[in-house]
Amino acid sequence: MTIKELREVAKSKGLKGYSKLKKTELEELLKESTEQEKFLENINPEIEVIQYKDENDWLEIRKLGLGGSDVAGVLGESKYKSAVDVWNDKINGSSFSGNRFTHWGNKLEAVIATEFDDRHKDLKVFELNRTLKKGKSLANIDRFLYDPSLNEYGILEIKTTNSFNYKEWNEETIPQEYYCQVMHYLAVSGLKFAYICCLIGGNDYREFRIERNEDECNYVLNYCDEWWKKYIETNLAPPADGSKAYSEYQKKKADNLNDIEIEINIDTTEFDELKAEIEEKGKKLELIKQSWIDEMIKFGAKKAKLKNYKITTITQKRETLDKKKLKESVPNIDDFLKVTESKFYKVTKVE
C-alpha cells in the first residue's frame, strides 16, 4: 500500500497523529491497531472496556475502583502504600504528581518493551491504552501479548528499579507487591499468562513468566469488591495496620480533636509486655555492638569487618547558631523566626 492509502485506512479507523508519520511508522500503527481490534473482539463481555482521552480523563477513571498499584496496598503487601493511603486517594484524591523514579520509569517503558519484543519473536506485543474494569477492580496494562502458537493473549508488565533492589529480583521470585499487581491484572482481564520484566540499575534486564492462578484471581476480585463496599462506599477509613502511613493519617486527624480527656477501657497488658520485651532486646542488641567496638578499641582500629557487617568510625559535625550572640547583633531576630507546628500522640506510663 502507498503512504496515501495507509493514511486513508488510518483515518477510517479513527486513529490519531497518523498524518505526520512515515510509511514504516504508519504500517506499525495500523498493525498495532489490528491487534487491538482482535483482542477487543475476543474479550469477555463481562469486562468493561473504558477508553480515555488524556491523562486527566484517566485520573477520573481511577476513582471508579482499585487499580493494580492499589491492590498490594489494601492486601497489606506493599512497602510503598498502605490501605489507608489507598482509601485517602480514592476519597480525597491523590496529591502525588510523580518523582524522578516514576519519570524515568515512564521514559524507559518503551525501551524495555522493545527489548522484550526483541527477545520474544514468538509473541506479538501491542498497546491498548484502555482501562479494563471488572467489579471494583481496574487494570491499566503496560502491554498486551499474543501467542500465535497457543492462540492466547497475555500481559506484559514493565518495571524499573535501582541496583540496591537486585536481591528482590532473583531467579525465582519477584517482589510480592508486583506479584499481586500481575495476578490482579490477570483476574480483571481473564487472561491466562503474564510476563513481568524489570530493568535493574539501568543495565540488568530480568524477566519472569507468571501463570494465572484461578483461586488467587477470584480471591483478589472478591476482596477488592468487599473492601470497596466496606470502606469507600461508607467513607470509613480502614482499621489500624501498624504502618507509618496510618500513623500519619492519625496525626492529621489531631487537628479536629477537642480538648477533652476520655477513659478508654482497654487492657494494656499486651502493650506492657511487648514494650518490656523490646526494651530488653534493644539493650541486648546494644551490648553486642559494644562488644564489637571494644575489640576495635583494643587493637586501635577505626574500622572492622565482621561476617555480615562493617563498622566504621565516623566523625559527625553539626553547626548550630548561638542564639544569645545572634540577638546581641540582631536585636529583633525573633521577628524572623518561623514557627512550625507538628502534632503527635505521646504515650506515657501512669504509676
Q: What is the pLDDT of residues 177-232, one digit of tens each?
A: 999 999 999 999 999 999 999 999 989 999 999 999 999 999 999 999 999 999 99
Element (H, E) at 269: helix 269-299
Where are the chain's structural domains? 43-232, 284-318
Instruction: Give the pLDDT confidence of 61-112 residue by residue, as tens digits.
Output: 989 999 999 999 999 998 888 999 999 999 988 766 667 878 888 889 999 9
Average model confidence (pLDDT) across the chain: 87
Q: What's domain 43-232's architecture?
A: Alpha-Beta Complex (3.90)
The answer to whether 15 and 33 are in contact (CB under 8 A) is yes
pTM score: 0.77
Going by C-alpha positions, the residue among 96, 29, 13, 21 that lies closest to residue 62 is: 96
Rounded Cα distance between 289 and 285, Å, is 6
Query: How high is the pLDDT of residue 17?
Result: 64
Full DSSP string of 199-267? EETTTEEEEEEEE--HHHHHHHHHHHHHHIIIIITTTPPPPP-S-HHHHHHHHHHGGG--S--------
Q: Give yes or no for residue 18 having a pLDDT over 70.
A: no
